[in-house]
């Protein structure tokens, strides 16, 4: 994989194909990127979340960011990489009739599918916009909460995305983002294939570097709300690695993790959502310890 434009082309092509599949087909592969495998690798169950619509769930996530996003009634919520609308519809249930939810996705077929899903349900406060999350089609300081589920790892310039999140959030706003990160280095044969990039693996950053980008963008109170290891079955890895390379990879103790991260945008003295209580980070779930080796 080389240029940013080539990577974006891969993502658009792969996710246009995925938009035609159901959850079962997508969940049996790594973020729906390959036809191999017999396991649900990354996705969590939305079944217990209010507002969940199964036919909008393509099984492409790696966490439940809306569960941790502290969305309040009346909030304007932005979902980055909204897919078929799954997280948007959960966010709508929390923001209520007085709130608004905006989904942004890079893939025209996903936008079409999400709009169809919203229309079927008569949701008039949920909208979907086609766009690049490195250059969001959203006005400055216009949203209260940003969520995203297993998407930033697909973007070449992750620092630009965090800069855009800072731009569109109102003072006192915050984000909760689920994403895939690494501890240790992937073998080159897992770094190069388009399927592994579209599958949310080869585009993943080192965890420390990812968290540093959030701080560099100017966010405050960042915390990992949830962490879990991602176990890629040998059947999938063997499509890219020899048996000996697979053994070496396992011995390297490289960890692939899903994390859900929260952070605040500082509230200015002039602009503060006084009607909404300040989030107490002590109330957030404690991140689990998964250990360094997951593959």
Rounded to an integer, what distance in angstroms lies between the CA atom of residue 184 and that of residue 71? 34
Angle at 92 between CA 179 and CA 135, to 5 degrees: 50
Q: Which residues of 63-74 are buried (b: 16+ CB within 10 A; e: fewer)?
A: bbbbbbbbbbee
4-265: CATH architecture = 3-Layer(aba) Sandwich (3.40)
Indicate the helix (H) or strand (E) that contains 66: helix 65-68
Identify the three-state secondary structure at position 206.
Answer: strand
Rounded to an integer, what distance in angstroms lies between the CA atom of residue 37 and that of residue 202? 18
The whole-number pLDDT of residue 13 equals 63
The whole-number pLDDT of residue 1 equals 46
What share of the chain has pLDDT > 70, as a percent?
A: 75
pLDDT at 245 over 80: yes
Checking DSSP bridges between strand 220-229 and strand 205-206, what pairing results, if any? unpaired
Supply the pTM of this predicted model. 0.81
The whole-number pLDDT of residue 43 equals 75
Rounded to an integer, what distance in angstroms lies between the CA atom of residue 134 and that of residue 123? 27
Q: What is the pLDDT of residues 156-170, one digit of tens each?
A: 899 999 999 999 999
The whole-number pLDDT of residue 101 equals 98
pLDDT at 269 over 70: no
The domain segmentation of the chain, as residue ranges, is: 4-265
In angstroms, the first-to-last Cα distance of the chain is: 23
């Amino acid at each position: 994989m080389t240029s940013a434009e080539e990577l974006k082309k891969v993502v658009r092509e792969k996710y246009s194909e995925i938009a035609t599949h159901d959850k079962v087909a997508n969940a049996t592969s790594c973020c729906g990127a390959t036809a191999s495998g017999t396991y649900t690798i990354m996705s969590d169950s939305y079944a217990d979340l209010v507002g969940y619509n199964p036919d909008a769930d393509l099984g492409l996530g790696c966490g439940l960011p809306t569960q941790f996003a502290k969305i309040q009634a009346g909030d304007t919520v932005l979902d980055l990489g909204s897919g078929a609308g799954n997280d948007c519809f959960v966010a709508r249930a929390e923001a209520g009739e007085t709130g608004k939810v905006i989904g942004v996705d890079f893939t025209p077929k996903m936008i079409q599918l999400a709009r169809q899903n919203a229309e079927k349900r008569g949701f008039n406060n949920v909208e979907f916009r086609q766009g690049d999350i490195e250059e969001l089609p959203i006005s400055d300081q216009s949203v209260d909460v940003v969520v995203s589920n297993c998407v930033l790892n697909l973007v070449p310039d992750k620092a630009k995305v965090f800069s855009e999140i800072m731009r569109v959030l109102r003072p006192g706003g915050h984000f909760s983002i689920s994403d895939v990160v690494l501890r240790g280095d992937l073998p080159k044969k897992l770094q190069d294939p388009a399927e592994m990039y579209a599958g949310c693996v080869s585009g993943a950053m080192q965890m420390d570097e990812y968290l540093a980008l959030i701080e560099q963008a100017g966010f405050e109170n960042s915390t990992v709300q949830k962490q879990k290891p991602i176990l890629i079955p040998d059947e999938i890895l063997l499509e890219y690695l020899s048996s000996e390379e697979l053994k070496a990879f396992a011995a390297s103790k490289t960890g692939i993790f899903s994390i859900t991260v929260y952070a605040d945008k500082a509230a200015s003295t002039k602009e503060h959502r006084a009607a909404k209580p300040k989030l107490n980070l002590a109330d957030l779930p404690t991140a689990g310890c998964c250990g360094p080796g997951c593959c």
